[in-house]
Structures are given as structure tokens and as C-alpha cells.
Chains A and B, each alone.
Chain A
Amino acid sequence: MNTQTATNPAVGDAALSARPEWLDGLWLIVPTLLIVIGMMVVPLVGIVVVSFWTQTGFNIEATWTLDNYRVLFTPEGALYRILIVKSLWMSLTATIAVVLLAYPMAYFMAFRIERAKLIWIILLTVPFWTSYLLRIFAWKVILGFNGVINSGLKAVGLIDKPLEFLLYNPTSVTITLAHAWAAYAVLPIYVSLEKIDRSYLEAATDLGDSKWKRFWRITFPLSLPGTIAAILLVFIPTVGDYITPTLVGGTSGIMIGNSIVTQFGKANNAPLGAALSCIMMLAITLAVCAFLAAIGRKRLKAADL
């Protein structure tokens, strides 16, 4: 850009509008796209194709069939139906728990902390600089049979036999996940809350809005991008998670992720594993789309009001 156009904004804009502005944007996103496409296309196409094939022993046969999908609708497929629904349900409850707990914390950081916000951001992630496995050990110590909670309650005399329902059930899975994904929920919500222009809030107060009304009318809608990001960041990966349920979920701690891994391995049925993966991906995509659509409609309604 030469000095002349720089000093004369009108001319500069005219020169720029010669080519569409989005072209500049495209250049910015191209590196990411190249990496994602370069690394994802083969896995993605591969998994879709394999899901229509069959396998005997270690040999995958390239004969097209719909059997891997059909089995899901037969009585033998009951296992997979149960696991898919269970995984989605577990992920959903965990996501709700994580985000509900994270929101007030993010709000606190955005509006109550005046200085040293960087320190708070770091403070939130420090617990996760240790291995996940170690954190699971810690949860077992807290919730376990002779753990902190049970020993504490016993010492106070509230119980005389350890409570066994604390660990190895869906509740302990939710607690552990709420802990493990905390930073992934708090930080996106925080960054979007923090950018809200304070003058909007003051204006609302001047107009006589109550605290809650102000929150629902202004703060919450403006924090939606971060809240949506948090929900997606927690929901999507936890559907396929199978490590947490195995470690703290007890005898029923099996998810669709376990089954997929088994199909690719010992069960010698990669095509079924691929089909299950595709179904899982589809289920996640549908759930996310439904969620985004619902949010979109709400947002429009809010704008009408």
C-alpha cells in the first residue's frame, strides 16, 4: 500500500473493493484447511468406505454390503443401540453439569476480578498439568471405600459403614468428567463474557432493569458464543470417551467407544467398528445441529423482543 492511498482512506477503500473482501479471509483460513483436509480426508473416506465392507479373520473384503448398518436394527444389534444411547446420554449429563458449574465461575472471573486476569486463567488450568490417570487416582481416594469422604463421615459418626454408592457408578463418572473438562468450559465462556462492553450493562441499569433481567437481556445473549463453544468442546469429545467410564464407572462402565475399539481389535470386525464410528459421528452431528438450530431460533426470538 503506498503512502497516497494510506493517507486517503476513500481511495484506499475503492482500491480494495476491486476484489471481494472475503478473499482476504480465505487466505487466512487456508493453512488450517490444508492441514485439516490433508490429515482428515483419508481417515474419513477410509472409515466410510470400510463400513460398507466385510471382514473375515484379518482379511478385509471389498464387497459392498449394508449388513454392518443393518445389524443395528436387528435383535443382535441391541447392544450397540443401548451403548450409543447411553454414550450420548452420559455425555449430555456431563456437559450440562460441566457448563452449569463453569458459567458462574467464568462470570466471577470476568466481572469480579479486576486485575491479574492472566493469573486466574492459568490458575484454572494448573490442576490439569498432571496426568489424567493420576487425577482419577485422586478421585478414587476421595470417593473410595476407605476414602476421604467415607473416613470423614465415619470420624464424625454420621455413618458406621462406608457409603459404597459414591464410586463406580454413573454419578462418579459425571463428577470426574465435570472436573476433567472444567477448563474447557470456563475459558471460552470467560473470554466471551469478558469482552462485553460494560456501558451496555450500565445503560440497562439506568433503564431500571433488575440484576436478573439485565443478565438475561444482555449478559447471557452476549456470552452465547462462548457458552456454545464450551458446550461443543465438552459434548463432542465425551461421547467417544471410554476411559473415564472404565476407570470409575464400575461394572456398567462400558460405552460405544469401548465397543468400537474392540471391533477394530480383538473382535476382528473393522467394518462393524467403522459403521459404529460413522453412526456415532452422525449422532453427534445431528445432536449438535439440533442444538445449534434451537439456539439460532431462540436468538432470533430474542432479537424480535
Chain B
Amino acid sequence: MDSQDFLSAMKAGRMSRRDILQMLTAAGLTMTMLPVGRAKAAYGEAIYFTWEGYNDPGFHPGYTAKHGAEPEGPVFGDVEEALTKVRSGFQVDVVHPCNLDLQRWREADVLQAIDTSRLSNWGNLFESLKKLAYAQGDKGEQFFIPVDWGNTSILYRPDLFDVKEESWTMLWDERYAGQLSMAADATESVAIAGIVLGVKDPFNLTDEELVKAKELLVKQKPLMRFYWDSNSAVEQALASGELVAATGWNSSVVTLTGQGVNIKYANPKEGIMSYCCGLVMTKDAPHADKAYDLIDAMISPEAGKWLIEAQGYGHSNAKSFDLVEEKVLAERGLPKDPTQFFGQGIFQQPTLNVDKVQKLFEEVKAGA
């Protein structure tokens, strides 16, 4: 029965149940027979596992220029799920975790050391970013190539939030009960509590400090609207005025301002938090050579200029900061001299007793 027949039969009301069933079966079988594989001839390209959006060609202009094709791009929504998938045998070349995730990727033993002499842009990267915890192996071999860095601080609506002094305690301001939010991230939340408590190492609290941090988070819970799980959610709530202050990243300043929302990025007196994301190469990378091309392309000054201007994040290549106008940097809350800047803030460090911290935060949420 072809479509012509179908329409006329429909018109005349002659369709029987059997005809419809036959058609459905036929349609279903045809659909399942269609080639399911990807038609593009991209099988030979480097496989780059990242968030949708980070595979934008702007991030790696050099790769496309050299190979005439984009890297293959499976995407993930959560870096922990990505690690599970890679550990279970999913083959990729390059993955894009952040410095806080590194410990887990290293300990899972799925990475190979990267020969930095094969990266033409390696010499121009900020030294401090190269030496982040777990970025290098015991013998000084490099496992992590820093690319994009940014801050975690408080995004707030100056029209709705009356601020005396920018501080992490803004997230405990009882005047705005029900209009505040933090990320649903155990290590980060506990670290912020640690900063407010003024502990020595907010990323590795002692058992005593953990108890106090928990008290502080329990006290904060009724003031929170929700713990956010994506920056889409937090930006949306800030834009609607549902939230007046929340933790967030630099990129949110760019997007929210672009939508005409009155937003400010706090520089807390206790120090702004910074993090850095970058690239790692898997042990059994099927396209290692092309992976090097991709990594080198992503740390080039041109890629950095694009990242700063279009995404609002900082870049690991010092030269990219020379290519961007000072005004643009200022708008994005980025320093002219990142080296000095890294010295002042609180760079996020790995947490050793993650399981305790995870459980603590779950208990806060569950009210246990």
C-alpha cells in the first residue's frame, strides 16, 4: 500500500485495522533496516570526548586546518559518567576533565603520559597550570595539558541583593532566605563552608572541621532555593529573579549580561576560587598522532583568543592574552596578568577523603 493509496483510503474511510497494522510493521522494519552507523567519513579522526559545545570548531582551529575534518565527537553530560564509560572499555583518544577530576582519572589508571616535546605551544603555557596536583606523574611526566580555566565565585543581582562587602558569607545572608543557591557538588560546597570557617586547607578538612562545616551547611539549607545541577538552571533562576545570589562560573557573566540581566561577579574578600580544565590522553588511544595535533591546536594562541572572547573563560596560553583587548578581558572578569592572579586566589585542590565529604553533603540534603 503506497502513500497515495493510503491517503485515498483514509479519505474514503476504508482503512481497516489490518491495513494499518501492516503499514506500521512495514514502516518499522524499514526504519530498523536503515543504516544506523554514521555516514560521515570521520572514522579516522581523533576521538575527543567532551561536553556538547566544547567540540565547537572554534576550540581547535589548527586541527581542522591540518586535517580538513573535525575530530570525532562523542559527548557526555557528566565527567564522572565519562570516566565510568572509559574505564568500561569505551575507546577515545582525548578527554576533557578539570583539575579536580584528575585525581580520579589518574588513579583509575586509564591515562598515558603526553610527550610535551611534540606540542609546539607547550612553552607558552602558564607554568603554575602545568604543575597542578595530579597533572604530573612521579617522574615529572605530563598527564594533563591545561586549556581553559575559570573561577567559581558568587553571581549576584546588584538590583536585588544589597551587598556591604563581597564575601562567601553572602550565601548565608538570612535576608535573602529562599533566594540563594550553590552547586549540588559535595566537594565544592564543603570547601566553601571551609573558606567561611577560615580553615587552613578548605579542600581537605580535618574531621573536627568537617563537623563544623556540616553544621554550617545545615544552617544554610533553609536559605537555599535549590542546589543547582547545571549552569543552565542557575542562570535561568538568576534571570527570572528567583535567585538573587548563587555560585557560578565566568561564562555565566557573559551569557547573562548578553541577555540584559543586571549581574555582578563577586570578588570575595576571602579569595575567589579558580579551577582549570584541560586535556588528557587515554592509554589505548586509537589515533595518538592525531590526538597530539588536537591538543596542540587547542592550546594555540588563536584558540585562546576565541575562547576568551566567545566563551568568557581564561586560556592556558600566555600569548592569547596579548591578542585580546584589555576592555574585553575586564568585562569577563579576567586579569591582564594571570600569573599574579593565580597567586592571590584559592586554586581548587583535590579532596582526599571524598567519600566522607560526599556522605556529609548527602546527609545535609536528606536531613539525616
Please list the residues of chain A having a beta carbon within 8 angstroms of any beta carbon in chain B.
57-58, 78-79, 82-83, 86, 137, 140, 144-146, 164, 168, 246-247, 249-254, 258-259, 262, 264-269
What chain B residues lie within 8 Å of A78 (beta carbons)?
A: 368
A146-B242, A264-B84 given; A79·B178 CB < 8 A: no
Taking A58-B108, A259-B362, A268-B354 as known contacts, 10 extra A-B pairs with beta carbons closer than 8 A to each other, sorted by chain A number, are A82-B366, A82-B367, A144-B242, A145-B241, A250-B224, A251-B222, A253-B365, A265-B84, A267-B355, A267-B359
What chain B residues lie within 8 Å of A144 (beta carbons)?
A: 240, 242
What chain B residues lie within 8 Å of A266 (beta carbons)?
A: 80, 104, 186, 354-355, 358
Bound CA span A248–B157, Å? 23
A254 touches B366 (CB 8 A): yes
20 A-B pairs (CB sep. < 8 Å): A58-B87, A58-B108, A79-B362, A83-B366, A137-B236, A144-B242, A145-B237, A246-B229, A250-B225, A250-B226, A251-B365, A252-B367, A254-B366, A258-B362, A262-B362, A265-B80, A265-B84, A266-B80, A266-B355, A268-B355
The answer to whether the Cβ of B107 comes within 8 Å of any Cβ in the partner chain is: yes
The answer to whether the Cβ of B133 comes within 8 Å of any Cβ in the partner chain is: no
| Nearest-neighbor residue (CB-CB) of B358 within chain A | A267
| Nearest-neighbor residue (CB-CB) of B181 within chain A | A251
What chain B residues lie within 8 Å of A145 (beta carbons)?
A: 237, 240-242
B358 touches A262 (CB 8 A): yes
Q: A165 CB to closest chain B CB, in angstroms?
A: 10
Bound CA span A265–B81, Å? 8
Q: B229 CB to closest chain A CB, in angstroms?
A: 6
The answer to whether the Cβ of B75 comes within 8 Å of any Cβ in the partner chain is: no
What mask results when residues 103 to 131 of chain B are scored 1 for a CB within 8 Å of chain A, else 0? Answer: 01001110000000000000000000000
Bound CA span A264–B359, Å? 13
Q: A51 CB to closest chain B CB, in angstroms?
A: 17
| Nearest-neighbor residue (CB-CB) of B233 within chain A | A247
B366 touches A252 (CB 8 A): yes
The answer to whether the Cβ of B86 comes within 8 Å of any Cβ in the partner chain is: no
A82 touches B368 (CB 8 A): yes
A168-B226, A266-B80 given; A146·B366 CB < 8 A: no
| Nearest-neighbor residue (CB-CB) of B178 within chain A | A164
What chain A residues lie within 8 Å of B363 (beta carbons)?
A: 79
A254 touches B362 (CB 8 A): yes
A246-B184, A250-B226, A266-B358 given; A79·B107 CB < 8 A: no
What chain A residues lie within 8 Å of B229 (beta carbons)?
A: 246-247
Closest 8 CB pairs of A and B: A145-B242, A265-B80, A254-B365, A79-B368, A267-B355, A267-B358, A251-B224, A250-B226
What chain B residues lie within 8 Å of A58 (beta carbons)?
A: 87, 107-109
Bound CA span A93–B87, Å? 38
The answer to whether the Cβ of B315 comes within 8 Å of any Cβ in the partner chain is: no
Bound CA span A268–B226, Å? 26
| Nearest-neighbor residue (CB-CB) of B355 within chain A | A267
Q: B223 CB to closest chain A CB, in angstroms?
A: 9
Bound CA span A249–B367, Å? 14
B355 touches A269 (CB 8 A): yes
Bound CA span A40–B318, Å? 53
The answer to whether the Cβ of B161 comes within 8 Å of any Cβ in the partner chain is: no
The answer to whether the Cβ of B221 comes within 8 Å of any Cβ in the partner chain is: yes
What chain A residues lie within 8 Å of B222 (beta carbons)?
A: 251
| Nearest-neighbor residue (CB-CB) of B182 within chain A | A251
Bound CA span A167–B354, Å? 31
Most buried by A among B87, B108, B363: B363
Bound CA span A81–B87, Å? 30
Q: B100 CB to closest chain A CB, in angstroms?
A: 10
| Nearest-neighbor residue (CB-CB) of A162 within chain B | B242
Q: B42 CB to closest chain A CB, in angstroms?
A: 26
A146-B240, A267-B359 given; A252·B354 CB < 8 A: no
What mask results when residues 70 to 83 of chain B are scored 1 for a CB within 8 Å of chain A, else 0? Answer: 00000000001101
Bound CA span A254–B362, Å? 8
Bound CA span A57–B359, Å? 16
The answer to whether the Cβ of B227 comes within 8 Å of any Cβ in the partner chain is: yes
Bound CA span A78–B359, Å? 11
- For window 224-252 of chain B, which residues contact chain A by CB distance below 8 Å? 224-227, 229, 233, 236-237, 240-242
- For window 334-368 of chain B, which residues contact chain A by CB distance below 8 Å? 354-355, 358-359, 362-363, 365-368
Bound CA span A252–B367, Å? 8
A251 touches B227 (CB 8 A): yes
Q: A244 CB to closest chain B CB, in angstroms?
A: 12
Most buried by B among A86, A265, A269: A265
Q: B252 CB to closest chain A CB, in angstroms?
A: 17
Bound CA span A140–B239, Å? 13
Q: A140 CB to closest chain B CB, in angstroms?
A: 8
Bound CA span A91–B354, Å? 30
Bound CA span A86–B368, Å? 12
B355 touches A251 (CB 8 A): no
Most buried by B among A79, A86, A258, A264: A79
Most buried by B among A247, A259, A262: A262
